[in-house]
C-alpha cells in the first residue's frame, strides 16, 4: 500500500470515528467459526454504507475470534489498542468496525446489552453470528423508517437455511422449526400482542432495525430471560409503539440440521425453559398493557365495556384465566395477577359486576392445575429415544461402510486383484447377456 493510500485510510478512519453513523449493527459471536465470516461479509456488502459494526466475541471456544480478525483486518492493519471495561478493540482499515473480545463468557443477554451501550447510531440493527443479510436489507429498512417517524422498529421476513447455506424451501428437507414462522403480515399493536398471547413470537431477531431513542427509553434486554429475551423485548416495544414488517425475505436465518445445542435448538431443556419464561412474559404483558391497547387486543373476550380501573383489572384476570400454553390451560399467571392486586375494592367489583366471588377464586386455587403439558414431555422423550437409536444405527452403518471401503481399496491394490480383472469383465458380460 502506498503512503498516500495509507494517509487516506487513516483520515477515513478518523472521520468515521468522529461522525455518528446512521445505523449501528451489533453482532454477538459465540462458537460460530464456520459461519461468522459469511455474516460479516453480508454486512460489509450492504448497499447502504452509513453504518458501524460493533462485534463482541463472548469468549468462544473455537476459532471464531480469529475468523472475525481475518474478516476485518487488512494487510496493513495495526496491532490492537487498549480498551476499557475488560474488552480490547482491534483497530482495522475500515473505521466503521469495532471488535472486542470478552475475557470470560457472559452469555447472550449481557453481551447484547454491552453492544447496545456501545452503539452510536440513530438506528440499531441486530444480526446473529450465523445469519446472513440480503445486500439491500438496511437500505430498504432505513428508507421506510425515515418516511414513518411514528414506527419504533422495522422487521422483515426471513428464509431458513441449513449449515451449508441451502434454503430448506428448495431442499425438500425437514427442518426442526416452522420455516414459515417469520412470514407474517403486518398487524397493529393490539393485534400483534394478541397474536403473541394466543400463539408465539413471529418477529425475526436478525431482521430487527430499532430506533436508538426507543432503546434508550425501554432499556436493554431483561437478563431474567435466557431463552425468550428477544420475545420479551418485542412485547415491551409493542406496548408503547407500532412496528412494521417488510413483507419479503431480507434475511437468511440459519437452522442446523445436525445436532444443535444453541438457545434456539428444539430440545427438552430449552422447551422447559421456554415454558417457564413465557409464563412471566405473558403475565407482565397483560399487567402492563394500557386500557386502549388491551381493549383493541381482546375486544372479543371482554365481558363488558371497561370504564373503571377496577373493571380493567377484572377483565385482565379473566383473559389470563383463559390463557393456553401448547394446548394446556395454564392458570398460574392469572392467579399471580389477582394475588398481587386483590383488595376490598376489587373484591366488590368482581362480586357486584361479574358475579365472581372469593369462593370462586378459592375454587380456582383448589383445582389441580396442569401447569405444563406433560403429554408433550412424554411424547418428546419417546421421539428423542427413537432419534437417538436412529443416530446410533446411522453411525454404526457409517463405520461399517467406511471399513468396507478401506478393505476394497486395499484389495484393489493387490496383485491378485489386477490378475483377475479380465475374469471379472467376462463375468459382467455374461450377466448382461442373461438379462
How far CA 241 is from CA of 81, 203, 244, 372, in Å, comes to 40, 15, 10, 32
pLDDT average, residue stretch 149-159: 97
What pLDDT does 83 receive? 37
Mean pLDDT score of the chain: 85
The three grid cell numbers given for residue 117, joined into one nine-digit string: 451501550
Domain boundaries in the chain? 16-266, 275-366, 381-434
- β partners of residue 123: 23, 211
pLDDT average, residue stretch 286-312: 97
| 3 state DSSP class of 254 | strand
Task: Select the highest-mean-pLDDT range: 168-172, 307-311, 391-395.
Answer: 307-311
What pLDDT does 392 receive? 79
Q: Are 171 and 265 in contact (CB under 8 A)?
A: no
The three grid cell numbers given for residue 301, joined into one nine-digit string: 373476550
Taking CA 58 as the corner, what is the angle to CA 54 and CA 64, rounded to the nearest 5 degrees? 85
Of residues 378 and 396, the one with the higher pLDDT is: 396
What pLDDT does 267 receive? 67
pLDDT over threshold 80, residue 262: no
Class assignment of domain 16-266?
alpha beta
How would residue 264 be classed by pLDDT, with cut points 50, 70 and 90?
low
Q: Are 190 and 293 in contact (CB under 8 A)?
A: yes
Q: Could you tell me where the DSSP H helices lie in 289-373?
A: 291-297, 309-321, 332-341, 344-354, 358-366
pLDDT average, residue stretch 116-144: 98
pLDDT digits (tens, 9 = 90+) for 385-411: 776 777 778 778 878 888 888 877 777
What pLDDT does 191 receive? 98
How would residue 182 be classed by pLDDT, with cut points 50, 70 and 90?
very high
What pLDDT does 414 receive? 74
Radius of gyration, alpha carbons of the chain: 28
pLDDT over threshold 70, residue 15: no
How would residue 30 be classed by pLDDT, with cut points 50, 70 and 90?
very high
Supply φ then ψ for residue 284, to 5 degrees: -65, -40
How would residue 32 be classed by pLDDT, with cut points 50, 70 and 90?
very high
Place of cell 469383465: 425
- β partners of residue 154: 209, 244
pLDDT over threshold 50, residue 62: yes
Q: Are 131 and 253 in contact (CB under 8 A)?
A: yes
What pLDDT does 75 receive? 27
pLDDT over threshold 50, residue 422: yes
What pLDDT does 74 receive? 47
Quote the strand ranges of 95-182, DSSP E.
97-101, 123-128, 132-133, 153-161
pLDDT average, residue stretch 120-133: 97
- β partners of residue 127: 27
How would residue 76 be classed by pLDDT, with cut points 50, 70 and 90?
very low
How far CA 427 is from CA of 146, 410, 423, 433, 434, in Å, comes to 76, 22, 6, 10, 11
Q: With pLDDT > 70 as the criterion, what percentage of the chain qualifies? A: 80
Is the pTM value of this prediction over 0.85? no
How would residue 154 be classed by pLDDT, with cut points 50, 70 and 90?
very high
The three grid cell numbers given for residue 187, joined into one nine-digit string: 398487524
pLDDT digits (tens, 9 = 90+) for 320-366: 999 998 778 888 899 999 999 999 999 999 999 999 999 999 988 88
pLDDT average, residue stretch 171-198: 90
Say how far apart CA 338 and CA 316 lie, in whole Å. Answer: 9
Amino acid at each position: 500500500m502506498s503512503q498516500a493510500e495509507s494517509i487516506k485510510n487513516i483520515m477515513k478512519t478518523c472521520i468515521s470515528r468522529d461522525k455518528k453513523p446512521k445505523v449501528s449493527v451489533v453482532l454477538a459471536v459465540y462458537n460460530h467459526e464456520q459461519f461468522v465470516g459469511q455474516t460479516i461479509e453480508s454486512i460489509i456488502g450492504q448497499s447502504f454504507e452509513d453504518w458501524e459494526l460493533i462485534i463482541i466475541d463472548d469468549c468462544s471456544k473455537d476459532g471464531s475470534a480469529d475468523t472475525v480478525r481475518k474478516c476485518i483486518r487488512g494487510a496493513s492493519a495495526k496491532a490492537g489498542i487498549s480498551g476499557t471495561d475488560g474488552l480490547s478493540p482491534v483497530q482495522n482499515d475500515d473505521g466503521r468496525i469495532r471488535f472486542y473480545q470478552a475475557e470470560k463468557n457472559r452469555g447472550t443477554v449481557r453481551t447484547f446489552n454491552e453492544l447496545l451501550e456501545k452503539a452510536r447510531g440513530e438506528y440499531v440493527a441486530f444480526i446473529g453470528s450465523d445469519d446472513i443479510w440480503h445486500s439491500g436489507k438496511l437500505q430498504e429498512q432505513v428508507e421506510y423508517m425515515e418516511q414513518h417517524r411514528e414506527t419504533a422498529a422495522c422487521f422483515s421476513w426471513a428464509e431458513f437455511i441449513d449449515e451449508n447455506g441451502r434454503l430448506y424451501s428448495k431442499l425438500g428437507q425437514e427442518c426442526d422449526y416452522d420455516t414459515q414462522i417469520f412470514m407474517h403480515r403486518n398487524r397493529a399493536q393490539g393485534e400483534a400482542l394478541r397474536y403473541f398471547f394466543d400463539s408465539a413470537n413471529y418477529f425475526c431477531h436478525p431482521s430487527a432495525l430499532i430506533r436508538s431513542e426507543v432503546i434508550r427509553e425501554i432499556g436493554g434486554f431483561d437478563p431474567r430471560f435466557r431463552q425468550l429475551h428477544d420475545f420479551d423485548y418485542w412485547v415491551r416495544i409493542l406496548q408503547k409503539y407500532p412496528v412494521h414488517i417488510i413483507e419479503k425475505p431480507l434475511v437468511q436465518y440459519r437452522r442446523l440440521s445436525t445436532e444443535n445445542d444453541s438457545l434456539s435448538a428444539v430440545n427438552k431443556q430449552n422447551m422447559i425453559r421456554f415454558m417457564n419464561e413465557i409464563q412471566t412474559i405473558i403475565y407482565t404483558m397483560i399487567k402492563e398493557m394500557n386500557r386502549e391497547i388491551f381493549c383493541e387486543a381482546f375486544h372479543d373476550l371482554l365481558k363488558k365495556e371497561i370504564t373503571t380501573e377496577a373493571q380493567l383489572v377484572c377483565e385482565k384476570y379473566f383473559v389470563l384465566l383463559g390463557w393456553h400454553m401448547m394446548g394446556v390451560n395454564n392458570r398460574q399467571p392469572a392467579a399471580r395477577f389477582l394475588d398481587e392486586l386483590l383488595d376490598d375494592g376489587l373484591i366488590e367489583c368482581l362480586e357486584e359486576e361479574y358475579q365472581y366471588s372469593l369462593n370462586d377464586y378459592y375454587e380456582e386455587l383448589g383445582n389441580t392445575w396442569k401447569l405444563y403439558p406433560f403429554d408433550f414431555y412424554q411424547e418428546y422423550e419417546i421421539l428423542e429415544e427413537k432419534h437417538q437409536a436412529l443416530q446410533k444405527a446411522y453411525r454404526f452403518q457409517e463405520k461399517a461402510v467406511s471399513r468396507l471401503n478401506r478393505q476394497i481399496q486395499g484389495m484393489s491394490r493387490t496383485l491378485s486383484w489386477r490378475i483377475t480383472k479380465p475374469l471379472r469383465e467376462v463375468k459382467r458380460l455374461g450377466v448382461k447377456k442373461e438379462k
